[in-house]
A and B are shown apart, each in its own frame.
Chain A
Amino acid sequence: MDLIIPSGGLIFWQLLGFLALLFILIKFAWKPMLASLAERESSIEEALQSAEKARNEMSNLKSENEKLLQEARIERDVILKKAHEASVKMIEDAKTEASKQGAQLIANAKAVIETEKKAALSEVKNQVALLTLEVTEKLLRKQLADDKAQAALVDQFIKDLKIN
């Protein structure tokens, strides 16, 4: 066997063996392997992309939340402000009402007092008039108990009449 002259027999077997190996490997080894590798690579690629997407969504959601929170805060402030105003107004109203009612009560009381006073006064006047009459009657009875006194009074009256 020569060193640098290829021998036909070996070329024949090598060609046969290598081609057989090539076809078997292509069909049963390289195709499934390359397909799984490609599949794995694409699945990794997809996973990375979906992670990126999820991250974006997360940050979107976060900003959305932030926005909602901000809105809620503003709304709360508005509500609080309104409530405060309402309570102030209520207190104010109540005060006004109270003072109004107080004034009314005082006025009523005054009117009652006035009426009572008038009634009391007229009562007193009546009493005084009655007492005066009685006293006058008693005085007159006493002074006109004798005839002389009576004649004097009559004279008096006549005198007065004459003057008139």
Chain B
Amino acid sequence: MSRKFLALSLLFSVLFLHSFGEIFAAEAGAKEGKEDPTSFIMHHIKDAHEWHFFNVGHTHITLPLPVITYASDRGIEFYLSSDFQDPETHKFGKEFAHNGIYIDEHEHLGRVDEGSIMDFSITKNVAMMFIVIAIVLYVTLSAASHYKKNGTAAPKGAASLLEPIVIFVRDEIAQKAIGPKYMRFVPYLLTLFVFIWTGNLLGLLPGAANLTGNIAVTCTLAFLTFIIVNVNGNKDYWKHVFATPGVPAALLPIMVLVEFIGLFTKPFALMVRLFVAVTAGHIVILAFISLVFIFESYAIGILSTVMVTFINIIELLVATIQAYVFTLFSAMYIGGAVAEHAHDDHH
């Protein structure tokens, strides 16, 4: 089992090396000289308006993605990312403006007439999100159909993949962290777990987008947890925030301020933790790959491949752990909001 796993990781890392190597080489060649590895790495972990896979010679193999814009005076407009770029080098810039709209070098949308415009494009990460959702839907719905067909029979296929996860999230995360009212929150926690886990794992594939390592994505997920926590907060929870029991009256204004800020630091921590953990992993892998092109040496190439394989295995672990941690902390925050504690026992 572990040998298979190792072989698979090695294969992946070789693919990584291959695809990214060519991109990097092409980019480096285009600029006449070595490109700064920072921009190479940043290019791969940030969102983009087109999905760039690899280069064959000087030909960019990309998937142009829809660009959807909204401006109060122009309404909703649809374009393709290829409308705004140089057809040869695939570079965005003000000089490639189309219909009064341009995408600059930093992939920001702008209007030639300096008016305000909003970007609702199906970017690389949005497309990735749809892929993740499609895979999650396919797996979970085929698992659910097993239960519809076979009732309480032993799980098979997708159901046997999902059932341990469902039981783990229900019994080990929700029940332990939330307490007696846990059943209401199990579906949310399960969705959170499978979405983040699938996103983390698919993000490790070569050419995939860094979905769960994007701050907008983690921000949205943390925001949903924040909403659920505070919508379900009971009297004890709000009392704890605005009239913290057992605190002298003089200290109360400070405590209320601290507790109030605490409401927001919890989801903030959720947001930052997932973003940092996933992005850092990608940066480390890409940095090892960059080493090969900085040193241009076979020895470093072999060493980098070994290290990338190793980091990839760790990343598979991190992918699971971070999904678990995000779900667990969400459950704990919900648990804190719905807990019925007896008064005057602690604080």
> Which of B107, B137, B191 has the largest number of chain A CB atoms within 10 A?
B191
In the complex, A2→B48 CA distance in Å? 10
Is B129 interfacial (CB-CB < 8 Å)? yes
B151: nearest chain-A partner, CB-CB = A36
By DSSP majority rule, is chain B's interface helix, strand, loop, or mixed?
helix
Which listed residue, A1, A18, A28, touches B220 by the CB 8 Å rule? Answer: A18
Chain A residues with CB under 8 Å of B106's CB are: 1-2
Q: Is the CB of A34 within 8 A of B126?
A: no
Q: Is the CB of B144 within 8 A of A18?
A: no
Q: Is the CB of B119 within 8 A of A8?
A: yes
Q: How large is the interface on A (under 10, 10 to 19, 20 to 34, 35 or more residues)?
A: 35 or more
Is A72 interfacial (CB-CB < 8 Å)? no
Is B130 interfacial (CB-CB < 8 Å)? yes
A3: nearest chain-B partner, CB-CB = B46
Q: Is the CB of B107 within 8 A of A25?
A: no
Number of residue pairs A-B, CB distance < 8 angstroms: 129
Chain B residues with CB under 8 Å of A37's CB are: 163, 166-167, 170
A34: nearest chain-B partner, CB-CB = B186
CB distance from B76 to the nearest CB of A (A): 12
Q: Is the CB of A9 within 8 A of B144?
A: no
Q: When A33-B162, A34-B170, A37-B163 are in contact, do A3 and B123 touch as well, CB less than 8 Å?
A: no
Q: Is the CB of B120 within 8 A of A13?
A: yes
Chain A residues with CB under 8 Å of B162's CB are: 33
Which listed residue, A29, A36, A39, touches B140 by the CB 8 Å rule? Answer: A29
Q: When A1-B46, A25-B140, A33-B147 are in contact, do A10 and B118 touch as well, CB less than 8 Å?
A: no
CB distance from A53 to the nearest CB of B (A): 21
A43: nearest chain-B partner, CB-CB = B152
Q: Is the CB of A22 within 8 A of B108?
A: no
In the complex, A5→B219 CA distance in Å? 10
Which listed residue, A3, A10, A14, A29, touches B144 by the CB 8 Å rule? Answer: A29
Q: How would residues 12 to 38 of chain A score, 1 for a CB under 8 Å from any chain B CB and 0 otherwise? A: 111101111110111011111111110
12 extra interface residue pairs, beta carbon distance < 8 Å, beyond A13-B129, A25-B187, A36-B147: A3-B45, A6-B215, A7-B119, A13-B126, A18-B191, A21-B195, A26-B188, A32-B144, A32-B147, A34-B187, A36-B152, A37-B163
**Which residue numbers of B lie inside 8 Å of A, CB to CB?**
42, 45-48, 68, 106-108, 118-123, 125-126, 129-130, 133, 136-137, 140-141, 143-144, 147-148, 151-152, 159, 162-163, 166-167, 170, 183, 186-188, 190-191, 194-195, 214-217, 219-221, 223-224, 279
Interface CB pairs A-B, < 8 A, 17? A1-B108, A3-B42, A6-B214, A9-B118, A10-B126, A14-B220, A15-B220, A17-B129, A25-B136, A25-B187, A30-B166, A30-B186, A33-B162, A33-B166, A34-B186, A39-B152, A40-B152
